[in-house]
Amino acid sequence: MSKLWQARFFTTVNHLRDLPRTTVPEIAFAGRSNAGKSTAINILCNQKGLAFASKTPGRTQHINFFSIGGAHVAMHRKDETNQAEIRCLLADLPGYGYAEVSGDAKLHWQRLLGDYVQRREQLAALVLIMDARRPFTDLDIQMLEWFAPSGKPIHCILTKADKLNRNESVNILRQTQAKLDSYVDEDGVGFPFTVQLFSALKRIGIEEATAKIEQLVGLDIDPPTPEDLDPPEAPDDEQ
């Protein structure tokens, strides 16, 4: 069972000063409004209503955090989350590029997003969600370029792959990887950028995305047990 299924709503934040004072690693889902961020989070966490998904663009206007760890799955979902056992946080970021939002609100979101991805130390990686039919809009590139200098990984998820045929899917995957590979630092070294296809509708790429996200936040390695940290002394050899 995926560890992401343990996800619980943690908190919602509208200002950087209110960011959770946790120290566990975070992974943020960024992307254009309507690209399918909330839907992807719901599918990966195997919970229909966890992140709000909607036909109305611009729905996610705050940063919504979900915690993994310290909670049971399924029938015990109403139990309290044990805060000390939280392993990592997922962040559903407000979608960008939604035209019908007023100038001030847009500015507020962009500042919130830019500052969060550039300054949040515990942010381990970014998941960049893009519609497979139109990846790399200007704001996607801005997001990528804000985050790239951190040297941390970006995993691109091309959503709505169900809208493409096989050929189109192969081509867009190849083009996206080539675009990501074209980013190099001043020494000519590439960045840890990866990409995959995804469809919530046809359930394409769920295992691949799960494995990648678990690895990026260290969920693939079991936390040390108290015995690992403080092993019992070996008994003296009796002669």
Ligand X SMILES: Nc1nc2c(ncn2[C@@H]2O[C@H](COP(=O)(O)OP(=O)(O)OP(=O)(O)O)[C@@H](O)[C@H]2O)c(=O)[nH]1
39 binds ligand X (CB under 6 A): yes
60 binds Mg ion (CB under 5 A): yes
35 binds ligand X (CB under 6 A): yes
Contact of 30 with 126, CB cutoff 8 Å: yes
Least distance (Å) between residue 195 CB and ligand X: 15
Give the one residue of 38, 159, 176, 199 binding Mg ion; rule: CB under 5 A: 38
67 binds ligand X (CB under 6 A): no
How far is residue 156's CA from residue 196's CA, in Å, rounded to a whole number?
6
How far is residue 206's CA from residue 5's CA, in Å, rounded to a whole number?
12
Sign, CA dihedral 215-217-219-225, equals positive
Least distance (Å) between residue 193 CB and ligand X: 20
- Give the number of other Cβ atoms within 10 Å of residue 69's Cβ: 20
- Burial letters 149-158, b for 16+ CB under 10 A, else e: ebebbbbbbb
How far is residue 143's CA from residue 114's CA, in Å, rounded to a whole number?
7
- Interacting residues with ligand X between 94 and 123 (CB under 6 A): 95
Which one of ligand X, Mg ion, none is in contact with 160 (Cβ closer than 5 to 8 A by kind)? Answer: ligand X
Side-chain-side CA neighbours of residue 227 (13 Å): 3
135 binds ligand X (CB under 6 A): no
Give the one residue of 13, 162, 179, 196 binding ligand X; rule: CB under 6 A: 162
Least distance (Å) between residue 44 CB and Mg ion: 14
Contacting positions for Mg ion (CB under 5 A): 37-38, 60
Summarize as ranges the residues that interact with ligand X (CB under 6 A): 31, 33-39, 53-55, 57-60, 95, 159-160, 162-163, 199-201
